Amino acid sequence: MKNKLSSLPYSNYPLFKGINQNGINIIMNCFKTSERKYKKGSYIWHAGDKAVYVGLLINGQVNIVKDDISGNRIIINAVLPSQTFGESIAISKTDEYPVSVQAAVDSVILLFDKEKLITPCTIGCFFHTTLVKNLLELIAKKNIALSERIECITKKNIKQKLVFYLVEEMKTSDNYEIAIPFNRKELSDYLNVNRSALSRVLSTLEEDKILIYSKNKFKILDFDKIKDIMNT
């Protein structure tokens, strides 16, 4: 579903860093951008679809997912409001999306035509040049985050994967108590582990007073034991 653009402070979004609202309006008009609403569970695109858009999440949450030939799902990343997705596809000029993007909850998204996004304007406008620079910066940061994700899923066991993920999330939030963007099933898909086995590990960690949790909220109680788990 398409809607007119809402009057949100897009200038606060990383993609539009250094661009005032007037410049953003010019970009939106140039790209003929509009908001699209997606219901929970619906797909923004599927792996294998023709790569046409770069997305910017306005409201809600979308997950980047990959399904193998056996039907097993891995959640590669969660996209939260003000974050972009599909940028590397645009820059690499890949013809097809290698992964799917699915709305984890009801979501509102801006979709930019990737060709318009990466092709400089004929008048060489400052706004567009700044936008592309911001896009490259976002891709660089995501590459760093991807290396952390690889480190997470290559840990030896479920306990280490879980603990590594929670500690990294706490670093970014600068808080020992966090709310992660996944439910239990999504967390098991993100860590690439069995859901029942993950639940058992969580129960053990709580019984050992290493952490406490409720749904998607976690708090680490004993960092010394966390370090022991990581160094095992």
- The pLDDT tens digits of the residues spanning 139-186 come to 999 988 888 899 999 999 999 999 999 999 998 777 779 999 999 999
Tens-place pLDDT, residues 101-152: 999 999 999 999 888 887 776 665 778 889 989 999 999 999 888 888 999 9
In which band, very low, low, confident or very high, does the pLDDT at 5 lie, cut at 50, 70 and 90?
Answer: low
In which band, very low, low, confident or very high, does the pLDDT at 7 lie, cut at 50, 70 and 90?
Answer: low
pLDDT at 2: 47
Please say if the pLDDT value at position 13 is more than 80: yes
In 3D, which of 65, 57, 74, 68 has the Cα closest to residue 41?
65
Q: pTM for this structure? A: 0.88
Of 53 and 174, more confident: 53
